[in-house]
Structure 1
Amino acid sequence: MNEALRRALLQAHLTDHQLAERCGVDIKTVGRWITETGRVPHARHRWAVCEALGEDEAVLWPTAARKAIKVGPDREVVSVYPYRSGCPASLWRSLITKAERELTFAGYTNYFLWLEQARFGTALQRKAAHGCRVRFLLGSPDSDLTRSRERDEDVALTLSTRIRVTLAELEKIRRQPGIDARFSDGHAHLSVFRFDDDMIVTPLLTHSVGHDAPTLHLRRHQDDGMFDRFASHVEELWGRGNPVWECGDDG
Protein backbone atom coordinates (compact mmCIF):
# COMPACT_ATOMS: atom_id res chain seq x y z
CA MET A 1 0.00 0.00 0.00
CA ASN A 2 1.13 3.56 -0.77
CA GLU A 3 0.95 4.81 2.83
CA ALA A 4 2.24 8.27 1.90
CA LEU A 5 -0.61 8.77 -0.58
CA ARG A 6 -3.18 7.45 1.89
CA ARG A 7 -1.95 9.82 4.63
CA ALA A 8 -1.88 12.78 2.24
CA LEU A 9 -5.50 12.09 1.28
CA LEU A 10 -6.52 12.05 4.94
CA GLN A 11 -4.63 15.26 5.69
CA ALA A 12 -6.22 17.00 2.72
CA HIS A 13 -9.68 15.81 3.86
CA LEU A 14 -10.40 14.35 0.42
CA THR A 15 -12.09 11.06 -0.47
CA ASP A 16 -10.94 8.68 -3.19
CA HIS A 17 -13.91 9.81 -5.27
CA GLN A 18 -13.05 13.51 -4.91
CA LEU A 19 -9.42 12.89 -5.90
CA ALA A 20 -10.56 10.87 -8.92
CA GLU A 21 -12.75 13.78 -10.06
CA ARG A 22 -9.90 16.28 -9.70
CA CYS A 23 -7.53 14.07 -11.67
CA GLY A 24 -10.02 13.06 -14.34
CA VAL A 25 -9.73 9.32 -13.69
CA ASP A 26 -11.98 6.51 -12.49
CA ILE A 27 -12.23 5.94 -8.73
CA LYS A 28 -10.91 2.39 -9.28
CA THR A 29 -7.72 3.90 -10.68
CA VAL A 30 -7.23 5.93 -7.52
CA GLY A 31 -7.84 2.77 -5.51
CA ARG A 32 -5.05 0.99 -7.40
CA TRP A 33 -2.68 3.94 -6.81
CA ILE A 34 -3.25 3.49 -3.10
CA THR A 35 -3.38 -0.28 -2.71
CA GLU A 36 -1.00 -1.67 -5.32
CA THR A 37 2.61 -1.52 -4.20
CA GLY A 38 4.90 0.05 -6.77
CA ARG A 39 2.14 1.37 -9.05
CA VAL A 40 3.14 4.80 -10.37
CA PRO A 41 0.58 6.96 -12.24
CA HIS A 42 1.37 8.74 -15.48
CA ALA A 43 3.24 12.01 -15.00
CA ARG A 44 0.21 14.22 -15.71
CA HIS A 45 -1.79 12.32 -13.08
CA ARG A 46 1.03 12.53 -10.53
CA TRP A 47 1.15 16.29 -11.00
CA ALA A 48 -2.64 16.56 -10.64
CA VAL A 49 -2.52 14.53 -7.41
CA CYS A 50 0.30 16.67 -6.00
CA GLU A 51 -1.64 19.83 -6.78
CA ALA A 52 -4.85 18.48 -5.24
CA LEU A 53 -3.13 17.27 -2.06
CA GLY A 54 -0.50 20.00 -1.69
CA GLU A 55 2.21 17.35 -1.47
CA ASP A 56 5.51 16.73 -3.24
CA GLU A 57 5.93 14.04 -5.87
CA ALA A 58 9.10 12.89 -4.10
CA VAL A 59 6.99 12.08 -1.02
CA LEU A 60 4.17 10.27 -2.80
CA TRP A 61 6.23 8.45 -5.46
CA PRO A 62 9.94 8.61 -4.53
CA THR A 63 10.93 6.09 -7.20
CA ALA A 64 9.50 8.21 -10.00
CA ALA A 65 11.04 11.34 -8.52
CA ARG A 66 14.50 9.72 -8.38
CA LYS A 67 14.26 8.73 -12.04
CA ALA A 68 13.43 12.30 -13.00
CA ILE A 69 15.94 13.96 -10.69
CA LYS A 70 17.84 16.89 -12.16
CA VAL A 71 21.59 17.23 -11.87
CA GLY A 72 22.19 20.59 -13.56
CA PRO A 73 21.96 24.14 -12.19
CA ASP A 74 18.17 24.08 -12.68
CA ARG A 75 17.68 21.23 -10.20
CA GLU A 76 16.45 23.73 -7.61
CA VAL A 77 13.45 24.54 -9.81
CA VAL A 78 10.57 22.39 -8.56
CA SER A 79 7.70 23.92 -10.56
CA VAL A 80 6.97 26.82 -12.88
CA TYR A 81 3.63 28.65 -13.20
CA PRO A 82 2.88 31.28 -15.88
CA TYR A 83 0.75 33.13 -13.31
CA ARG A 84 0.92 33.29 -9.51
CA SER A 85 -2.83 32.72 -9.47
CA GLY A 86 -2.12 29.32 -11.05
CA CYS A 87 0.03 28.27 -8.11
CA PRO A 88 -2.35 26.18 -5.94
CA ALA A 89 -3.42 27.64 -2.60
CA SER A 90 -2.85 24.14 -1.22
CA LEU A 91 0.87 24.42 -2.06
CA TRP A 92 1.16 27.67 -0.09
CA ARG A 93 -0.70 26.08 2.81
CA SER A 94 1.53 23.01 2.74
CA LEU A 95 4.74 25.07 2.69
CA ILE A 96 3.56 27.27 5.55
CA THR A 97 2.47 24.25 7.59
CA LYS A 98 5.74 22.37 7.13
CA ALA A 99 8.09 25.30 7.86
CA GLU A 100 9.83 25.07 11.23
CA ARG A 101 12.67 27.62 11.13
CA GLU A 102 11.93 30.37 8.65
CA LEU A 103 8.88 32.07 7.15
CA THR A 104 9.69 35.21 5.17
CA PHE A 105 7.04 37.01 3.15
CA ALA A 106 8.76 39.59 0.95
CA GLY A 107 5.86 40.57 -1.25
CA TYR A 108 5.18 44.25 -1.79
CA THR A 109 1.73 43.99 -0.17
CA ASN A 110 1.36 40.31 0.90
CA TYR A 111 -2.37 41.05 0.76
CA PHE A 112 -3.39 37.85 -1.03
CA LEU A 113 -2.09 35.66 1.80
CA TRP A 114 -4.66 37.01 4.25
CA LEU A 115 -7.32 36.56 1.59
CA GLU A 116 -6.49 33.01 0.51
CA GLN A 117 -5.12 31.33 3.65
CA ALA A 118 -7.71 30.57 6.31
CA ARG A 119 -6.72 31.72 9.83
CA PHE A 120 -3.39 32.91 8.48
CA GLY A 121 -2.62 35.13 11.46
CA THR A 122 -3.31 32.32 13.91
CA ALA A 123 -1.02 30.00 11.95
CA LEU A 124 1.78 32.59 12.07
CA GLN A 125 1.40 33.05 15.81
CA ARG A 126 1.56 29.31 16.33
CA LYS A 127 4.68 29.04 14.17
CA ALA A 128 6.42 31.88 16.01
CA ALA A 129 5.49 30.40 19.39
CA HIS A 130 7.31 27.20 18.39
CA GLY A 131 10.50 29.04 17.44
CA CYS A 132 9.95 29.76 13.75
CA ARG A 133 11.15 33.20 12.64
CA VAL A 134 8.33 35.06 10.87
CA ARG A 135 9.19 38.17 8.81
CA PHE A 136 7.28 40.48 6.50
CA LEU A 137 8.97 42.85 4.07
CA LEU A 138 6.48 45.42 2.77
CA GLY A 139 6.39 48.42 0.53
CA SER A 140 5.55 51.68 2.27
CA PRO A 141 1.94 52.71 1.55
CA ASP A 142 2.97 56.39 1.37
CA SER A 143 6.09 56.16 -0.77
CA ASP A 144 6.53 57.77 -4.18
CA LEU A 145 7.27 54.34 -5.65
CA THR A 146 3.97 52.97 -4.36
CA ARG A 147 2.09 55.88 -5.91
CA SER A 148 3.94 55.36 -9.19
CA ARG A 149 3.08 51.65 -9.23
CA GLU A 150 -0.54 52.45 -8.45
CA ARG A 151 -0.70 54.56 -11.59
CA ASP A 152 0.80 51.67 -13.57
CA GLU A 153 -1.60 49.09 -12.13
CA ASP A 154 -4.68 51.34 -12.40
CA VAL A 155 -6.93 48.98 -10.38
CA ALA A 156 -9.73 49.79 -7.94
CA LEU A 157 -8.09 48.09 -4.95
CA THR A 158 -4.96 50.21 -4.79
CA LEU A 159 -1.52 49.05 -3.78
CA SER A 160 -1.50 51.29 -0.69
CA THR A 161 -4.87 49.90 0.41
CA ARG A 162 -3.60 46.34 0.08
CA ILE A 163 -0.49 47.19 2.10
CA ARG A 164 -2.63 48.76 4.83
CA VAL A 165 -4.75 45.61 5.02
CA THR A 166 -1.59 43.62 5.74
CA LEU A 167 -0.45 46.19 8.30
CA ALA A 168 -3.82 46.00 10.06
CA GLU A 169 -3.63 42.19 10.20
CA LEU A 170 -0.04 42.27 11.45
CA GLU A 171 -1.04 44.73 14.15
CA LYS A 172 -3.26 42.03 15.64
CA ILE A 173 -0.38 39.56 16.06
CA ARG A 174 2.72 41.74 16.38
CA ARG A 175 3.09 41.21 20.13
CA GLN A 176 3.85 37.55 19.53
CA PRO A 177 7.65 37.23 19.91
CA GLY A 178 9.27 36.10 16.67
CA ILE A 179 7.05 38.12 14.32
CA ASP A 180 8.66 41.18 12.70
CA ALA A 181 7.99 43.50 9.77
CA ARG A 182 9.97 46.12 7.84
CA PHE A 183 9.38 48.54 4.98
CA SER A 184 11.47 48.36 1.81
CA ASP A 185 11.12 49.53 -1.79
CA GLY A 186 13.85 47.20 -3.08
CA HIS A 187 11.50 44.33 -3.84
CA ALA A 188 8.85 46.35 -5.68
CA HIS A 189 9.20 44.21 -8.81
CA LEU A 190 10.33 40.91 -7.29
CA SER A 191 8.45 39.06 -4.54
CA VAL A 192 10.20 36.30 -2.60
CA PHE A 193 8.46 34.00 -0.13
CA ARG A 194 10.62 31.63 1.90
CA PHE A 195 9.56 28.52 3.81
CA ASP A 196 12.71 26.94 5.32
CA ASP A 197 14.41 25.43 2.23
CA ASP A 198 11.50 26.05 -0.12
CA MET A 199 10.82 29.35 -1.86
CA ILE A 200 8.27 30.91 -4.18
CA VAL A 201 9.57 33.72 -6.39
CA THR A 202 7.41 36.03 -8.52
CA PRO A 203 9.08 38.62 -10.80
CA LEU A 204 6.50 41.30 -11.63
CA LEU A 205 6.04 42.28 -15.25
CA THR A 206 5.34 45.80 -16.47
CA HIS A 207 1.81 47.07 -15.80
CA SER A 208 0.78 43.80 -14.12
CA VAL A 209 -0.45 42.97 -10.64
CA GLY A 210 1.03 40.25 -8.46
CA HIS A 211 -1.41 37.46 -9.30
CA ASP A 212 -0.46 37.82 -12.99
CA ALA A 213 3.27 37.43 -12.32
CA PRO A 214 5.18 34.33 -13.53
CA THR A 215 6.03 32.17 -10.55
CA LEU A 216 8.81 29.74 -9.61
CA HIS A 217 8.80 27.17 -6.84
CA LEU A 218 12.41 26.58 -5.74
CA ARG A 219 13.97 24.13 -3.31
CA ARG A 220 17.51 24.54 -1.98
CA HIS A 221 19.99 21.87 -3.12
CA GLN A 222 23.34 23.67 -3.31
CA ASP A 223 25.42 26.56 -2.07
CA ASP A 224 25.16 29.78 -4.08
CA GLY A 225 22.46 28.35 -6.31
CA MET A 226 19.25 30.08 -7.35
CA PHE A 227 17.73 29.64 -3.90
CA ASP A 228 20.70 31.23 -2.13
CA ARG A 229 20.86 34.10 -4.63
CA PHE A 230 17.26 35.11 -3.93
CA ALA A 231 17.70 34.51 -0.19
CA SER A 232 20.72 36.85 -0.13
CA HIS A 233 18.71 39.48 -1.99
CA VAL A 234 16.02 39.40 0.70
CA GLU A 235 18.55 39.46 3.55
CA GLU A 236 20.18 42.57 2.13
CA LEU A 237 16.84 44.32 1.79
CA TRP A 238 15.87 43.27 5.30
CA GLY A 239 19.09 44.71 6.69
CA ARG A 240 18.39 48.01 4.96
CA GLY A 241 14.68 48.07 5.77
CA ASN A 242 12.89 50.38 8.19
CA PRO A 243 10.97 48.83 11.09
CA VAL A 244 7.21 48.98 10.76
CA TRP A 245 6.91 49.32 14.53
CA GLU A 246 9.27 51.53 16.51
CA CYS A 247 10.86 50.04 19.62
CA GLY A 248 8.65 50.64 22.61
CA ASP A 249 5.65 51.51 20.45
CA ASP A 250 2.52 50.19 22.13
CA GLY A 251 0.11 51.76 19.64
Structure 2
Amino acid sequence: MNERLHSVLAQRGIEPEAVAEACEVDPKTVGRWLGGRVPHPRHRFRVARFLRVEETFLWPDPQPRTGRRPGGSGTELVGTYQNRASVPRETWLTLLQEARQQIDVLVFSGTFFAQSNPHVAKMLVERAADGVRVRLCFGDPSGHTAAVRGREEGIGDTLAAKIRASLTYYRSLLPEEGCEVRLHDTTLYNSLFRYDENLLVNPHIYGQPASANPLLHLKRVDTTGWFDNYVQSFEAVWAQARPWMPDQEGIATHGQD
Protein backbone atom coordinates (compact mmCIF):
# COMPACT_ATOMS: atom_id res chain seq x y z
CA MET A 1 0.00 0.00 0.00
CA ASN A 2 1.19 3.50 -0.84
CA GLU A 3 0.41 5.10 2.53
CA ARG A 4 1.72 8.49 1.46
CA LEU A 5 -0.60 8.68 -1.52
CA HIS A 6 -3.50 7.55 0.67
CA SER A 7 -2.59 10.19 3.25
CA VAL A 8 -2.37 13.09 0.80
CA LEU A 9 -5.73 12.19 -0.77
CA ALA A 10 -7.36 11.94 2.65
CA GLN A 11 -5.88 15.23 3.86
CA ARG A 12 -6.94 17.03 0.69
CA GLY A 13 -10.38 15.39 0.54
CA ILE A 14 -9.68 14.20 -3.00
CA GLU A 15 -11.31 11.04 -4.36
CA PRO A 16 -9.31 8.53 -6.47
CA GLU A 17 -11.72 9.20 -9.34
CA ALA A 18 -10.52 12.81 -9.49
CA VAL A 19 -6.93 11.61 -9.77
CA ALA A 20 -7.95 9.22 -12.53
CA GLU A 21 -9.65 12.03 -14.44
CA ALA A 22 -6.63 14.32 -14.06
CA CYS A 23 -4.30 11.60 -15.35
CA GLU A 24 -6.73 10.30 -18.01
CA VAL A 25 -6.64 6.74 -16.70
CA ASP A 26 -9.21 4.24 -15.43
CA PRO A 27 -10.07 4.58 -11.71
CA LYS A 28 -8.99 0.96 -11.28
CA THR A 29 -5.50 2.05 -12.31
CA VAL A 30 -5.43 4.61 -9.49
CA GLY A 31 -6.62 1.85 -7.18
CA ARG A 32 -3.57 -0.19 -8.14
CA TRP A 33 -1.32 2.83 -7.44
CA LEU A 34 -2.90 3.13 -4.00
CA GLY A 35 -2.25 -0.56 -3.54
CA GLY A 36 1.46 -0.07 -4.11
CA ARG A 37 2.04 -0.32 -7.85
CA VAL A 38 4.44 2.36 -9.15
CA PRO A 39 2.95 4.32 -12.07
CA HIS A 40 4.64 5.12 -15.35
CA PRO A 41 6.89 8.22 -15.05
CA ARG A 42 4.47 10.45 -16.97
CA HIS A 43 1.66 9.45 -14.61
CA ARG A 44 3.81 10.01 -11.53
CA PHE A 45 4.51 13.51 -12.77
CA ARG A 46 0.84 14.27 -13.42
CA VAL A 47 -0.30 12.92 -10.05
CA ALA A 48 2.33 14.97 -8.19
CA ARG A 49 1.41 18.11 -10.13
CA PHE A 50 -2.31 17.55 -9.51
CA LEU A 51 -1.79 17.01 -5.76
CA ARG A 52 0.87 19.76 -5.50
CA VAL A 53 3.44 17.54 -3.81
CA GLU A 54 6.91 16.34 -4.75
CA GLU A 55 6.90 13.24 -6.96
CA THR A 56 9.77 11.77 -4.93
CA PHE A 57 7.68 12.10 -1.77
CA LEU A 58 4.90 9.92 -3.20
CA TRP A 59 7.31 7.53 -4.93
CA PRO A 60 10.86 7.67 -3.52
CA ASP A 61 13.50 6.80 -6.08
CA PRO A 62 13.70 2.98 -5.97
CA GLN A 63 17.46 2.57 -5.75
CA PRO A 64 19.32 -0.43 -4.27
CA ARG A 65 20.11 -0.09 -0.55
CA THR A 66 23.81 -0.47 -1.26
CA GLY A 67 26.13 1.29 -3.66
CA ARG A 68 26.14 4.81 -5.01
CA ARG A 69 24.66 6.60 -7.96
CA PRO A 70 26.92 7.70 -10.79
CA GLY A 71 28.73 10.90 -10.01
CA GLY A 72 29.23 10.12 -6.34
CA SER A 73 25.82 11.11 -4.99
CA GLY A 74 24.50 8.72 -2.36
CA THR A 75 21.29 6.80 -2.81
CA GLU A 76 20.26 8.49 0.42
CA LEU A 77 19.17 11.59 -1.47
CA VAL A 78 15.42 11.15 -1.99
CA GLY A 79 14.74 14.63 -3.28
CA THR A 80 15.58 18.34 -3.13
CA TYR A 81 13.58 21.53 -2.74
CA GLN A 82 14.58 24.95 -4.00
CA ASN A 83 13.83 26.33 -0.54
CA ARG A 84 12.27 25.17 2.70
CA ALA A 85 9.17 27.24 2.08
CA SER A 86 8.36 25.10 -0.97
CA VAL A 87 8.14 21.85 1.00
CA PRO A 88 4.43 20.88 0.98
CA ARG A 89 2.70 21.05 4.34
CA GLU A 90 1.50 17.48 3.76
CA THR A 91 5.12 16.31 3.67
CA TRP A 92 5.78 17.63 7.17
CA LEU A 93 2.52 16.21 8.51
CA THR A 94 2.95 12.78 6.96
CA LEU A 95 6.53 12.33 8.13
CA LEU A 96 5.52 13.31 11.66
CA GLN A 97 2.50 11.02 11.69
CA GLU A 98 4.44 8.06 10.27
CA ALA A 99 7.34 8.27 12.76
CA ARG A 100 7.53 5.19 14.96
CA GLN A 101 10.84 5.55 16.83
CA GLN A 102 12.15 9.10 17.05
CA ILE A 103 11.63 12.69 16.03
CA ASP A 104 14.57 15.09 16.34
CA VAL A 105 14.45 18.79 15.46
CA LEU A 106 17.42 21.19 15.49
CA VAL A 107 16.69 24.85 14.68
CA PHE A 108 17.22 28.39 15.88
CA SER A 109 13.56 29.46 16.09
CA GLY A 110 11.59 27.06 13.88
CA THR A 111 8.56 29.35 13.99
CA PHE A 112 7.13 27.84 10.80
CA PHE A 113 7.05 24.40 12.45
CA ALA A 114 4.18 25.44 14.72
CA GLN A 115 2.64 28.21 12.66
CA SER A 116 2.09 25.92 9.66
CA ASN A 117 0.57 23.30 11.96
CA PRO A 118 -1.12 24.75 15.06
CA HIS A 119 -1.63 21.23 16.44
CA VAL A 120 2.03 20.24 16.23
CA ALA A 121 2.54 20.10 20.01
CA LYS A 122 -0.50 17.87 20.46
CA MET A 123 0.67 15.63 17.63
CA LEU A 124 4.14 15.35 19.16
CA VAL A 125 2.64 14.38 22.52
CA GLU A 126 0.54 11.73 20.78
CA ARG A 127 3.60 10.32 19.01
CA ALA A 128 5.46 10.22 22.35
CA ALA A 129 2.52 8.38 23.91
CA ASP A 130 2.96 5.74 21.19
CA GLY A 131 6.61 5.28 22.16
CA VAL A 132 8.30 7.78 19.84
CA ARG A 133 11.23 9.67 21.37
CA VAL A 134 10.78 13.40 20.75
CA ARG A 135 13.74 15.79 21.06
CA LEU A 136 13.45 19.46 20.12
CA CYS A 137 16.53 21.68 20.23
CA PHE A 138 16.11 25.46 19.77
CA GLY A 139 18.62 28.27 19.84
CA ASP A 140 19.21 29.88 23.22
CA PRO A 141 17.49 33.30 22.89
CA SER A 142 19.99 34.78 25.34
CA GLY A 143 22.96 33.05 23.74
CA HIS A 144 25.84 34.42 21.65
CA THR A 145 25.13 32.49 18.43
CA ALA A 146 21.49 33.62 18.19
CA ALA A 147 22.68 37.21 18.47
CA VAL A 148 25.31 36.65 15.76
CA ARG A 149 22.82 34.96 13.44
CA GLY A 150 20.34 37.78 13.97
CA ARG A 151 22.96 40.33 12.93
CA GLU A 152 23.95 38.25 9.90
CA GLU A 153 20.33 38.14 8.73
CA GLY A 154 19.96 41.86 9.38
CA ILE A 155 17.15 41.40 11.91
CA GLY A 156 19.10 42.09 15.12
CA ASP A 157 17.29 41.01 18.28
CA THR A 158 14.28 39.83 16.31
CA LEU A 159 15.66 36.28 16.10
CA ALA A 160 15.81 35.99 19.89
CA ALA A 161 12.21 37.22 20.06
CA LYS A 162 11.18 34.67 17.44
CA ILE A 163 12.81 31.87 19.46
CA ARG A 164 10.94 32.91 22.61
CA ALA A 165 7.67 33.09 20.71
CA SER A 166 8.24 29.69 19.11
CA LEU A 167 9.02 28.03 22.44
CA THR A 168 5.62 28.96 23.85
CA TYR A 169 4.00 26.35 21.64
CA TYR A 170 5.94 23.50 23.23
CA ARG A 171 5.41 24.08 26.94
CA SER A 172 2.89 21.23 27.04
CA LEU A 173 5.62 18.77 26.00
CA LEU A 174 7.75 19.26 29.10
CA PRO A 175 5.82 17.02 31.54
CA GLU A 176 5.33 14.29 28.94
CA GLU A 177 7.46 11.16 29.13
CA GLY A 178 9.56 10.75 26.01
CA CYS A 179 9.59 14.49 25.18
CA GLU A 180 12.56 16.78 25.75
CA VAL A 181 13.19 20.40 24.81
CA ARG A 182 16.68 21.92 25.03
CA LEU A 183 18.41 25.18 24.10
CA HIS A 184 21.74 25.30 22.27
CA ASP A 185 24.33 28.04 21.82
CA THR A 186 26.30 26.53 18.95
CA THR A 187 26.95 27.69 15.39
CA LEU A 188 24.17 26.16 13.33
CA TYR A 189 25.17 25.23 9.81
CA ASN A 190 21.96 23.34 9.07
CA SER A 191 18.48 23.02 10.50
CA LEU A 192 17.67 19.32 10.89
CA PHE A 193 14.35 17.49 11.03
CA ARG A 194 14.58 13.76 11.61
CA TYR A 195 11.68 11.31 11.42
CA ASP A 196 13.04 7.78 11.95
CA GLU A 197 15.01 7.01 8.77
CA ASN A 198 13.98 10.22 7.00
CA LEU A 199 15.96 13.42 7.47
CA LEU A 200 15.22 16.89 6.10
CA VAL A 201 18.39 19.01 5.99
CA ASN A 202 18.00 22.78 5.58
CA PRO A 203 21.47 24.35 4.94
CA HIS A 204 22.04 27.89 6.20
CA ILE A 205 23.31 30.45 3.71
CA TYR A 206 25.04 33.49 5.16
CA GLY A 207 22.69 36.43 5.62
CA GLN A 208 19.57 34.60 4.45
CA PRO A 209 16.69 33.21 6.53
CA ALA A 210 16.50 29.43 6.66
CA SER A 211 13.15 29.44 4.84
CA ALA A 212 14.84 30.86 1.73
CA ASN A 213 17.57 28.20 1.69
CA PRO A 214 17.52 24.81 -0.11
CA LEU A 215 16.34 21.63 1.59
CA LEU A 216 17.56 18.06 1.10
CA HIS A 217 15.42 15.01 1.86
CA LEU A 218 17.63 12.10 2.89
CA LYS A 219 16.72 8.51 3.69
CA ARG A 220 19.19 6.38 5.66
CA VAL A 221 21.04 3.69 3.71
CA ASP A 222 24.01 2.71 5.89
CA THR A 223 26.16 4.00 8.73
CA THR A 224 28.74 5.71 6.53
CA GLY A 225 26.57 8.09 4.53
CA TRP A 226 25.26 11.61 4.71
CA PHE A 227 22.35 10.68 6.96
CA ASP A 228 24.50 9.47 9.83
CA ASN A 229 26.96 12.35 9.48
CA TYR A 230 24.13 14.82 10.00
CA VAL A 231 22.68 12.73 12.82
CA GLN A 232 26.04 12.77 14.58
CA SER A 233 26.06 16.57 14.36
CA PHE A 234 22.64 16.65 15.99
CA GLU A 235 23.86 14.41 18.80
CA ALA A 236 26.89 16.65 19.36
CA VAL A 237 24.75 19.77 19.65
CA TRP A 238 22.17 17.98 21.80
CA ALA A 239 24.83 16.82 24.24
CA GLN A 240 25.95 20.42 24.83
CA ALA A 241 22.47 21.93 24.96
CA ARG A 242 20.77 22.77 28.25
CA PRO A 243 17.23 21.80 29.28
CA TRP A 244 14.63 24.46 28.65
CA MET A 245 13.12 25.75 31.92
CA PRO A 246 10.50 28.33 30.91
CA ASP A 247 9.57 29.35 34.45
CA GLN A 248 13.12 30.56 34.99
CA GLU A 249 13.42 32.32 31.64
CA GLY A 250 10.23 34.33 31.53
CA ILE A 251 8.69 32.44 28.60
CA ALA A 252 4.97 33.08 28.23
CA THR A 253 2.50 30.34 29.10
CA HIS A 254 0.53 30.39 25.88
CA GLY A 255 1.46 30.43 22.19
CA GLN A 256 1.63 33.67 20.27
CA ASP A 257 -0.66 34.72 17.41
RMSD: 3.4
Residue deviations 1:53-95 (CA, integer Å, cap 9, x gap): 995305xxxxxx5479884051000011121111111111111
Equivalences for residues 7-22 of structure 1 within 5 A? 7-8=6-7, 10-12=9-11, 13-16=13-16, 19=19
Structure 1 residue aligned with 2:30: 34
TM-score (norm 2): 0.79
Partner secondary structure for residue 95 of structure 1: helix
- Structure 2, gaps ≥5 residues long: 252-257
Whichever residue aligns with residue 171 of structure 2, its letter is E
**Deviation (angstroms), 1:135:** 0.6
TM-score (norm 1): 0.81
* Partners of 1:47 and 1:57 within 8 A in 2: no
Equivalences for residues 162-241 of structure 1 within 5 A? 162-241=162-241
Equivalences for residues 104-119 of structure 1 within 5 A? 104-119=104-119
Counterparts in 2 of 1:35 and 1:132: CA distance versus 1, 3 Å: closer
Could you tell me how far apart the structure 2 residues matched to 1:155 and 1:241 are?
24
Counterparts in 2 of 1:210 and 1:4: CA distance versus 1, 3 Å: closer
Structure 2 residue aligned with 1:62: none
* Partners of 1:184 and 1:240 within 8 A in 2: yes
Could you tell me how far apart the structure 1 residues matched to 2:67 and 2:47 are?
21
Structure 1 residue aligned with 2:96: 96
* Partners of 1:150 and 1:159 within 8 A in 2: yes
Structure 2 residue aligned with 1:57: 59
Whichever residue aligns with residue 214 of structure 1, its letter is P
Could you tell me how far apart the structure 1 residues matched to 2:8 and 2:182 are?
38
Whichever residue aligns with residue 236 of structure 1, its letter is A
Could you tell me how far apart the structure 2 residues matched to 1:5 and 1:182 are?
31
* Partners of 2:182 and 2:244 within 8 A in 1: yes
Structure 2 residue aligned with 1:84: 84
Bigger mean CA offset, 151-160 vs 80-89: 151-160
Bigger mean CA offset, 44-53 vs 81-90: 44-53
Whichever residue aligns with residue 110 of structure 2, its letter is N
- Structure 1, gaps ≥5 residues long: 59-64
Whichever residue aligns with residue 45 of structure 1, its letter is R
Counterparts in 2 of 1:30 and 1:168: CA distance versus 1, 3 Å: farther
